[in-house]
């Protein structure tokens, strides 16, 4: 029953109308149009049929050879291993129909009594580590191959029976990596068997109803299985290793679904955790790299760059690829999808490996065409951000981190720390949630621990409750606490000594942070309190967007008083909904939203949003005239000059009178077992104003 309900729920988003394709000027999307045209010209010489570049969800470059167009499907060869095999596996995993480490024999009964095949797992089939031999031999054309290998490609009687019955195992499953088309066929058989009894009992229906129609891909723009299915053992089977045709736009839609972690058009089609698993290192042996060909590691049906085998290409890049260099590239950190179809990028008879031409001919030119990695245009107010030299950084409270801050009614800053013992003299016990008061200026401050029997918590990392946001308003101190599935509100009427614990938010809002104004919330724009969070359950993951909610100042402790940002109306005004399910992102930066903070700048009359990309020094500062945008970029960096920095805060108390000087508080790991490890760090920031 649980699986049936889950399946029905996941089918629901298909009823919503996804967005149609839109185009955008490449320069406005942060790409160099001249370099894109140059890449197009170079690829055209290399027998390219189609080139499509999508950035931030919009087409920025699209080109077809004379006999091709946007509506004509193109053969994808082994790119089908991602588009068909990988995506159908995602359906089955998401719905709980199978597990990665299930023995494949659970779904292929004829393997149960075979010594080696009974050991093969779903994970191994999806990563070419099963040991099943490939149906290739000595560069002989497929239709001329002898024995079972020729029969596989001739599909006589059918390729699935041959893969399961006749294909030998040439090494111990899981102990090597050897490309295997029959292995992918066996995976397709197992997935189909797992879907028996559902509303989509074959892979064509599963792809159509669960993926392609919800992505607004017309049925005329794709085909799978060499145009036919096979009835084997009561199953309707389609090829997962090849035989698919997709338009470039259809393939790009699948790429966008992966980039956006299972979300499309404001609808969630798949759980983000499973999409992440598809694109993560599957932990299996890597392809042979002895030849010098930069072969990537294996995700699940996809190839991944997690170990940086492709220099200069982001490590979150995933690729589906097939013979003739049919390629689908997804780079979440750049919000970028690229499709290339055609013939091989190397002339016949030239030996350069498979992956080297993709790196040289597509990936490197794409990277050269990216001018800016920011998701939003430059700020019209802040021309630049300069940080004081590292030698001027002040650090206290070593080995504690987190540090949400608010300006209290008494003029002090109030903060909370995690996984440490706070300021000297330190607490006798390490706390996951402790409290402190900070007096003085950014150049000369003093922190004092506040002990609280009702507020303090213990536990390391994600196992311990931690504060993600603080706000003093009307002399009451409010706190959002994360790592409690998902976040809980608490409040104190004696400046942090005693806490009352209130309601929880159990969906999204994994690390809520208040929008702070001046002292004791003075100067607020209206009678509401605003709260931002990454749109995910965990403060340890990076999500696609940031969500926003608000409640009247006098009703913050009432769950029913909170409403959620639900997008903008036709006039650009915010819509608010009492339903959490109606939420929409107020800020988007795919795979790069983790632990945010927000503050109003009274001199600039701008809202500043600081958002970490990850836990390793990637972050940005954005500004807007309203709490809901439109956002522009004041500063972004992939790798800040402080190692392991995270948890960026801008306390309003430490803004200079002219608005040009701020003080950034953050946590950072400067090396294990040193006094600087995860301290309360303060660094001066100078804004260059336009």
| 646-649 and 661-667 strand pairing | antiparallel
Each residue's pLDDT tens digit, 499-544: 999 999 999 999 999 999 999 999 999 999 999 999 999 999 888 8
Omega of the bond leading into 630 within 30 degrees of 0 (cis): yes
Tell me what pLDDT residue 670 has.
52
Q: How far apart are CA 648 and CA 656, in angstroms?
A: 18
Each residue's pLDDT tens digit, 240-289: 999 999 999 999 999 999 999 999 988 899 998 899 999 999 999 998 88
- Please tell me whether residue 262 adopts helix, strand or coil conformation: coil
Tell me what pLDDT residue 292 has.
79
- Over residues 661-683, the mean pLDDT reads 78
Q: How far apart are CA 9 and CA 95, in angstroms?
A: 10
State the burial class of residue 483 (Cβ atoms within 10 Å of its Cβ: 0-12, 13-18, 19+). buried
Which of 377, 381, 379, 386 minimizes the C-alpha distance to 605? Answer: 381
Alpha-helical segments (H) within 23-146: 33-45, 80, 87-94, 122-126
- Side by side, which strands form the sheet with 401-407? 401-407, 413-418, 434-440, 445-450
Backbone angles phi, psi at 610, to 5 degrees: -105, 130
- Please tell me whether residue 385 adopts helix, strand or coil conformation: strand
Q: How far apart are CA 601 and CA 608, in angstroms?
A: 7
Each residue's pLDDT tens digit, 51-84: 999 999 999 999 999 999 999 999 999 999 999 9
Q: For residue 161, give both structure tokens.
A: 């029976």
C-alpha distances (whole Å) from 157 to each of 105, 154, 166, 190, 615 are 22, 8, 12, 19, 53
Tell me what pLDDT residue 15 has.
41
Which of 122, 609, 643, 45 minimizes the C-alpha distance to 374? Answer: 609
**Percent of the chain scoring above 90 in pLDDT:** 84
Which strand (E) or helix (H) includes residue 181? Answer: helix 181-194
Q: For residue 176, give both structure tokens.
A: 């090597």
Tell me what pLDDT residue 349 has.
67
Q: Band the pLDDT of 216: cuts 50, 70, 90.
A: very high
Each residue's pLDDT tens digit, 417-444: 999 999 999 999 999 999 999 999 999 9
- Per-chain mean pLDDT for the chain: 93
Q: For residue 686, give both structure tokens.
A: 């100078």
What CA dihedral angle connects 175, 179, 185 and 188, to 10 degrees?
A: 70
Tell me what pLDDT residue 373 has.
72
Residue corresponding to tokens 């879907």: 195
- Over residues 643-662, the mean pLDDT reads 95
- Out of 3-17, 104-118, 589-603, 669-683, give the one with best mean pLDDT: 104-118
Alpha-helical segments (H) within 299-430: 355-358, 364-369
Backbone angles phi, psi at 534, to 5 degrees: -60, 145
Q: Band the pLDDT of 676: cuts 50, 70, 90.
A: very low
Residue corresponding to tokens 């393997």: 111
Tell me what pLDDT residue 89 has.
98
Cα R_g (the chain), whole angstroms: 27
Q: Band the pLDDT of 668: cuts 50, 70, 90.
A: confident
C-alpha distances (whole Å) from 449 to each of 252, 383, 427, 430 are 53, 38, 8, 13
| pLDDT higher than 60, residue 232 | yes
Q: Band the pLDDT of 686: cuts 50, 70, 90.
A: very high
Q: Band the pLDDT of 347: cuts 50, 70, 90.
A: confident
Q: For residue 427, give both structure tokens.
A: 């607490």
| pLDDT higher than 90, residue 591 | no
Q: How far apart are CA 194 and CA 202, in angstroms?
A: 10
The dihedral region occupied by 660, where left means phi > 0, alpha psi between -120 and 50, and beta the remainder, is alpha
What letters, b where the CB count within 10 A reaches 16 and e where it falls short, cover 547-568? bbbbbebeebeeeebbbbbbee
Q: CB–CB of 452/435 below 8 Å? A: yes
Helix H, strand E, coil C: the string for 414-461 is: EEEEECECCCCCCCCCCECEEEEEEEECCCCEEEEEECCCCCCECCCH
Tell me what pLDDT residue 357 has.
95
List, in sequence order, every residue forming a beta bridge with 487; answer none if it has no partner.
Answer: 482, 505
Tell me what pLDDT residue 639 has.
81
- Please tell me whether residue 403 adopts helix, strand or coil conformation: strand
| pLDDT higher than 90, residue 1 | no
Q: CB–CB of 403/680 below 8 Å? A: yes
N- to C-terminal Cα distance for the chain? 60
Mean pLDDT is lowest, of 115-119, 361-365, 621-625, 634-638, for: 634-638
pTM of whole model > 0.85? no
Backbone angles phi, psi at 545, to 5 degrees: -150, 175
Residue 428 makes CB contacts below 8 A (sequence gap 6+) with 421
- Over residues 546-559, the mean pLDDT reads 98
Which of 316, 328, 284 minimizes the C-alpha distance to 100? Answer: 284
| pLDDT higher than 50, residue 8 | no
Within 10 A of 223 (CB to CB), how many other CB atoms are there? 17
Q: Band the pLDDT of 9: cuts 50, 70, 90.
A: very low
Residue corresponding to tokens 């993951």: 541
- Over residues 84-101, the mean pLDDT reads 98
| pLDDT higher than 70, residue 124 | yes
Residue corresponding to tokens 């009359």: 605
Tell me what pLDDT residue 364 has.
95
Q: For residue 454, give both structure tokens.
A: 């009702």
Tell me what pLDDT residue 374 has.
76
Each residue's pLDDT tens digit, 289-339: 877 799 999 999 999 998 889 988 888 899 999 999 999 999 988 899 999
State the burial class of residue 211 (Cβ atoms within 10 Å of its Cβ: 0-12, 13-18, 19+). buried
| pLDDT higher than 70, residue 20 | yes
Residue 151 makes CB contacts below 8 A (sequence gap 6+) with 157, 162, 166
């Amino acid at each position: 029953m649980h699986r049936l309900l889950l399946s029905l729920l996941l089918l629901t988003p298909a009823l919503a109308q996804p967005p149609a394709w839109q185009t955008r000027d490449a320069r406005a999307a942060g790409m160099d149009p001249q370099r894109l045209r140059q890449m197009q010209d170079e690829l055209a010489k290399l027998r390219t049929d189609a080139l499509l570049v999508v950035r931030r969800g919009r087409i920025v470059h699209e080109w077809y050879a004379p006999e091709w167009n946007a509506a004509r499907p193109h053969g994808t060869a082994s790119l089908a291993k991602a588009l068909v095999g990988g995506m159908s596996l995602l359906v089955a995993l998401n719905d709980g129909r199978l597990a990665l480490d299930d023995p494949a024999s659970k779904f292929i009964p004829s393997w149960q009594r075979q010594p080696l095949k009974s050991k093969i797992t779903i994970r191994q089939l999806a990563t070419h580590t099963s040991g099943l031999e490939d149906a290739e031999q000595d560069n002989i054309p497929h239709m001329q191959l002898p024995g079972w290998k020729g029969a596989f490609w001739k599909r006589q009687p059918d390729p699935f029976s041959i893969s399961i019955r006749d294909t030998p195992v040439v090494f111990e499953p899981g102990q090597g990596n050897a490309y295997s088309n029959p292995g992918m066929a066996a995976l397709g058989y197992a997935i189909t068997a797992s879907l028996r009894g559902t509303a989509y009992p074959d892979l064509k229906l599963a792809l159509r109803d669960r993926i392609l129609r919800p992505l607004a891909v017309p049925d005329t723009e794709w085909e799978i299985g060499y145009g036919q299915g096979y009835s084997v053992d009561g199953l309707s089977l389609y090829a997962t290793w090849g035989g698919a045709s997709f338009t470039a736009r259809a393939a790009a839609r699948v790429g966008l679904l992966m980039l956006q972690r299972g979300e499309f058009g404001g609808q969630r089609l798949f759980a983000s955790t499973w999409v992440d698993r598809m694109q993560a290192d599957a932990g299996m042996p890597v392809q042979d790299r002895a030849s010098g060909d930069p072969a990537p590691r294996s995700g699940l049906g996809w190839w991944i760059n997690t170990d940086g085998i492709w220099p200069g290409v982001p490590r979150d890049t995933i690729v589906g690829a097939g013979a003739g260099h049919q390629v689908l590239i997804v780079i979440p950190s750049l919000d970028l999808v690229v499709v290339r179809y055609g013939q091989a990028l190397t002339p016949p008879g030239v030996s350069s490996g498979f992956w080297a031409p993709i790196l040289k001919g597509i990936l490197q030119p794409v990277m050269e065409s990216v001018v800016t990695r920011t998701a939003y245009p430059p700020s019209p107010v802040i021309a630049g951000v300069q940080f004081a030299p590292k030698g001027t950084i002040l650090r206290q409270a070593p080995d504690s981190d987190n540090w949400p801050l608010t300006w209290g009614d008494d003029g002090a800053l109030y903060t909370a720390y995690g996984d440490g013992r706070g300021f000297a003299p330190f607490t006798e016990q390490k706390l996951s949630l402790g409290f402190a008061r900070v007096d003085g200026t950014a150049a000369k401050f003093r922190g004092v621990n506040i002990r609280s029997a009702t507020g303090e918590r213990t536990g390391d990392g994600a196992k311990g409750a931690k504060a993600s946001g603080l706000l003093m308003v009307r002399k009451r101190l409010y706190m959002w606490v994360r790592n409690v599935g998902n976040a809980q509100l608490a409040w104190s009427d004696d400046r942090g000594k005693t806490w009352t614990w209130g309601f929880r938010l159990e969906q999204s809002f994994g690390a809520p942070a208040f929008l702070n104004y001046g002292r004791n919330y003075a100067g607020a724009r209206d009678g509401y309190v605003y709260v931002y969070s990454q749109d995910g359950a965990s403060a340890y993951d990076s999500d696609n967007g940031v969500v926003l909610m608000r409640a009247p100042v006098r009703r913050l402790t009432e769950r029913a008083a909170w409403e959620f940002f639900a997008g903008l109306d036709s006039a650009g005004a915010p819509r608010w909904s009492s339903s959490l399910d109606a939420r929409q992102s107020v800020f988007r930066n795919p795979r790069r939203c983790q632990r945010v903070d927000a503050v109003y700048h009274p001199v600039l009359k701008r809202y500043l949003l600081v958002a970490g990309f990850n836990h390793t020094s990637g972050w940005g500062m954005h500004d807007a005239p309203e709490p809901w945008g439109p956002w522009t970029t004041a500063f972004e960096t992939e790798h800040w000059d402080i190692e392991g920095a995270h948890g960026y805060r801008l306390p309003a108390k430490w803004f200079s009178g002219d608005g040009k000087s701020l003080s950034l508080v953050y946590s950072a790991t400067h090396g294990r077992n040193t006094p600087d490890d995860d301290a309360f760090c303060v660094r001066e920031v100078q804004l260059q104003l336009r």
